[in-house]
Structure 1
Amino acid sequence: MGIVELSVLKWAHIIAMVYWLGGEWGVFQISFNVVNRKLSMDERKRHLETAYRIDILARTGILLLFPLGFHMGNIWGIQPYGGWALVAVWSVFALWLALCWTAFFFRETDRGVMLTKIDEKLRYIFIPVIAICAISSLSGNGPFIAVEGMRWFSVKILLFSVLLCIGLYLRFVMRQWTTIFRQLAEKQDDALEAELENSIRISRYLAYLYWIIIAGVGFLGATKPF
């Protein structure tokens, strides 16, 4: 049963990774049209809507990766927390995922912006917690087992925390898109256009780093080198 369970979890982990990486690439490409002043505002809004519809799949993949990895880590014996701990982790992330999708459905409203901010605040807690756990484990103090041949798991979680930091900034940028476009719908403003272009310009450089680290995380999971 453990082998079948692990195989299903691996499959789900791969799917989540694909949606994450593919979704981020799609949003990256669409951003060129979002900031293109030569396009009409209606057309730019349509591109922004497409970006949000693609991005929700990437967000879903990101939120699924940790409970999937945490679950597999227990089967591999790298992290000792099974049973009710797994139930708790899956329950928390199911609620978090529900929050994320609710924010998506209300994305054009003040409620959507508020829910997105709550999503961001949860990351302010989650990111340092997993980073501290990873560093502590690599130092030999747990909570994960990081002996020879098992250190890759803690390193992967540490890199995942870095990716979440980058992702948090990119989420902030997308929320900023919504706010700026609502203002631009009322009147044309060159200062707002410049702010929009500058924020996306910075985000593109971070996106390149994002994909490099994602590739590294995938490599660690596939090869388990140390």
Structure 2
Amino acid sequence: MNPYDIVLLIHILLFCYWLGGDIGVFYSSQFVVDSQLSRETRMTAAKIMLGCDLIPKICMSLMLTVGGILAHYLGVQHDPWQFVGIILLGPIWLTMVLVLHYYHNARYIPTLTKIDYIFRWIMIAVIATSCVYAYNSGSLDQAPWLTLKLLGFGFLIFCGLMIRINLKEFSVTYAKMLQDSHDDSDNQKMVRSLKKVKPWVVIIWLVLILEAYVGIAKPLFI
């Protein structure tokens, strides 16, 4: 296998584990909100859900870096500072994801959570701006489908932020469940929160499939 094949394989694996992991998270969440189950069973389901949730987050954090390297092999030219930024983005984003997951009780986590939230909005703005620049400058004329993939990725980040916003009730109630201080009204809040999230989750699945199609078909009409 040459370097391009290796990077392409990683790109495919990131897509598969992102979509598969996301489906696993949503499926296991149904057991977390099931008030007919015992608290111990629901807590076990929650551990499975949170463990699975790390996989899509890892895949998202690395996708732009891997995609940028693939674009380089396809002949898309980047300025040196842009390519360095693309290479560094994945490890930096991945580090933030892992710290938030494994050190969630550390004192600095609330601050890092806010940084992560702002960082994702900045990424959306940067992606949108870069697509406008690419369109005006013609830098992606040889691969116009990459513009659609970039916009799709930016929209995926936005969907993730909408999920985060709508999961606030779920998170608060889950914290009560950890302390065994939740009641029926809290259960209803969890169910309601999950219903708000469901449309965004389905949209993510559909956009990921669209992204995969664009990567395969490479349409030139964009």
TM range (shorter): 0.7 to 0.9
TM-fit CA distance, 1:186 = 4.7
The alignment of Structure 1 onto Structure 2 pairs a total of residues equal to 219
| Structure 2 match to 1:155 | 148
Q: Aligned partner of 2:35: which letter?
A: R
| Structure 1 match to 2:31 | 33
Whether 1:70 and 2:65 are equivalent positions in the alignment is no
Whether 1:170 and 2:167 are equivalent positions in the alignment is no
Q: Aligned partner of 1:152: which letter?
A: W
In 2: Cα distance, 1:157 partner to 1:41 partner: 42
Q: Aligned partner of 1:141: which letter?
A: N
In 2: Cα distance, 1:166 partner to 1:190 partner: 29
TM-fit CA distance, 1:40 = 1.9
Matches within 5 A, 1:13-92: 13-78=11-76, 80-81=77-78, 83-92=80-89
Q: Aligned partner of 1:216: which letter?
A: L
| Structure 2 match to 1:146 | 140
* Most deviating of 159-168 and 88-97: 88-97
Instruction: Render the CA deviation track for 1:37-66: whole Å, top value 9, x for unaligned.
Output: 111222212211111111111111111110
Q: Aligned partner of 2:163: which letter?
A: L
Q: Aligned partner of 1:167: which letter?
A: G
TM-fit CA distance, 1:123 = 0.1
Q: Aligned partner of 2:66: which letter?
A: L
Unaligned 5+ runs, structure 2 = none
In 1: Cα distance, 2:171 partner to 2:193 partner: 13
Q: What is the TM-score of this pair, normalised by structure 2? A: 0.88
In 1: Cα distance, 2:35 partner to 2:105 partner: 21
In 2: Cα distance, 1:200 partner to 1:113 partner: 23
Find runs of 4+ consecutive structure 1 residues off by over 6 angstroms.
none
In 2: Cα distance, 1:69 partner to 1:28 partner: 26
In 2: Cα distance, 1:197 partner to 1:72 partner: 41
In 2: Cα distance, 1:57 partner to 1:127 partner: 21
CA contact (8 A) 2:145 2:214 kept: yes
Relative to structure 1, is the Cα distance of residues 65 and 123 closer, same or farther in structure 2, using a 3 angstrom cutoff?
same
| Structure 1 match to 2:3 | 5
CA contact (8 A) 1:71 1:82 kept: no
CA contact (8 A) 1:12 1:68 kept: yes
Identity of aligned residues (%): 23
In 2: Cα distance, 1:44 partner to 1:186 partner: 12
TM-fit CA distance, 1:90 = 2.0
Q: What is the TM-score of this pair, normalised by structure 1? A: 0.86
TM-fit CA distance, 1:183 = 2.2
TM-fit CA distance, 1:109 = 6.2
Relative to structure 1, is the Cα distance of residues 112 and 196 closer, same or farther in structure 2, using a 3 angstrom cutoff?
farther
Q: Aligned partner of 2:89: which letter?
A: V
